[in-house]
Each structure stands twice: as structure tokens, then as C-alpha cells.
């Protein structure tokens, strides 16, 4: 019977991963859906109408068909070069960026909140969207409006926050 000697512990860097103390690295970026805007929410409530419920001939489907030019204008506005915005998670913070060159508009540090909740407002459910509400205790510290598939983006933010907290704890030792 042969025995295998324990291998020495080797610390190798992980590609694309940098400590937040050295540099800020992007983890994920998403664009808000049409549900981030008032007119988009209004259209979403209309699209969700199900009366009469006769196969595809629903009033909401008819309204969706008739409002294609409006919905397209909202879509193009949200990605327009100078006004469009996106939400980015980095290894340090969550940022709202605007414009084609992604200028930082506002942000919240990963240690400035302890929970993130999904709030689906009227008109957002049709888009599978919702607002992400960041809270420190009972105080709302930040809000991302109209996030498409908000639960998956919420999970990314919470994992980034846990990693950030772990790195801070290990660095203080």
C-alpha cells in the first residue's frame, strides 16, 4: 500500500480577480427594462390585462400590438448615448452609470447596506422586472429601478457583498 504525501499549499491568483484594495473590477452590468420609466409601467399594466381571455385575443395583447412604436421609443431612449443608464456591480460598490461612456452617476458601497429586497411595482410584473431596494437596518439607502430579472441580479449583489465583507475581515487580521 502506498501513501501519498500531503501536497504543500499553493496560493495562485485567480484570473480576473483583484482585491478591492488594489483595483475596482466589474462583476456584472445590466440595463434597466422599460419598466423603469413611468410610461413603461403604465404600458405594462395595460399589457397584463387578460379580459377577454380567449386564447391569444386578449385586450392586453391588442394594446401591446398597437403600442409597439411607443414601446420602441422607450427602449431606444433607455439605451440612448447620452441619457441611457446601466447598473453595474463591482468588487467595491453598486453603480448607476449614464451615457455611452458609462459615467458614474450615483453609487452605494457594498458595506453600506445589509439587505436587498425586490419590490415589484404595478406594471413591472409583465416585464419580469422590479426595483431593488437596498436597506441598512430599516433605512433605505439606495434603489435601482426597473431591473430586468431582479432576483438574479440581487443574488449577484449579495454574493459580491459577502465576498467584499470576507476580504475586509481577512485583511484586518
Per-residue pLDDT of 23-81, as tens digits, reads 788 999 999 998 888 888 888 888 888 776 666 667 888 888 889 899 999 888 887 87
The percentage of residues in the chain with a pLDDT greater than 70, rounded to a whole number, is 82
Distance between CA atoms of 36 and 34, rounded to whole angstroms? 5
Q: Which residues contact 54 (CB under 8 A, 6 or more apart)?
A: none
Read off the pLDDT band of 6 (50, 70, 90).
Answer: very low
Cα end-to-end distance, the chain, whole Å: 42
Residue 85, beta-bridge partner list: 98
Q: Which domains does the chain have, with CATH numbers?
A: 26-171 (2.30.29.30)
With 60 as the cut, is the pLDDT of residue 170 above it? yes
Mean pLDDT throughout 89-117? 92
- 11-20, 73-82, 133-142: segment of lowest average pLDDT: 11-20
**Residue 164 pLDDT:** 87
Per-residue pLDDT of 28-43, as tens digits, reads 999 999 888 888 888 8
Amino acid at each position: 500500500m502506498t501513501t501519498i504525501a500531503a501536497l504543500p499549499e499553493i496560493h495562485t491568483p485567480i484570473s480576473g480577480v483583484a482585491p478591492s484594495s488594489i483595483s475596482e473590477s466589474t462583476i456584472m452590468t445590466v440595463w434597466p427594462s422599460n419598466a423603469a420609466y413611468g410610461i413603461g409601467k403604465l404600458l405594462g399594466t395595460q399589457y397584463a390585462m387578460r379580459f377577454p381571455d380567449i386564447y391569444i385575443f386578449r385586450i392586453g395583447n391588442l394594446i401591446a400590438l398597437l403600442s409597439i412604436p411607443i414601446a420602441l421609443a422607450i427602449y431606444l431612449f433607455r439605451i440612448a448615448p447620452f441619457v441611457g443608464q446601466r447598473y453595474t456591480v463591482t468588487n467595491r460598490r453598486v453603480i448607476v452609470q449614464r451615457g455611452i461612456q458609462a459615467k458614474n452617476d450615483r453609487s452605494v458601497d457594498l458595506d453600506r447596506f445589509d439587505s436587498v429586497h425586490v419590490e415589484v411595482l404595478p406594471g413591472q410584473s409583465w416585464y419580469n422586472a422590479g426595483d431593488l431596494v437596498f436597506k441598512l437596518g430599516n433605512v433605505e439607502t439606495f434603489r435601482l429601478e426597473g431591473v430586468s430579472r431582479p432576483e438574479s441580479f440581487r443574488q449577484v449583489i449579495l454574493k459580491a457583498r459577502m465576498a467584499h465583507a470576507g476580504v475586509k475581515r481577512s485583511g484586518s487580521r
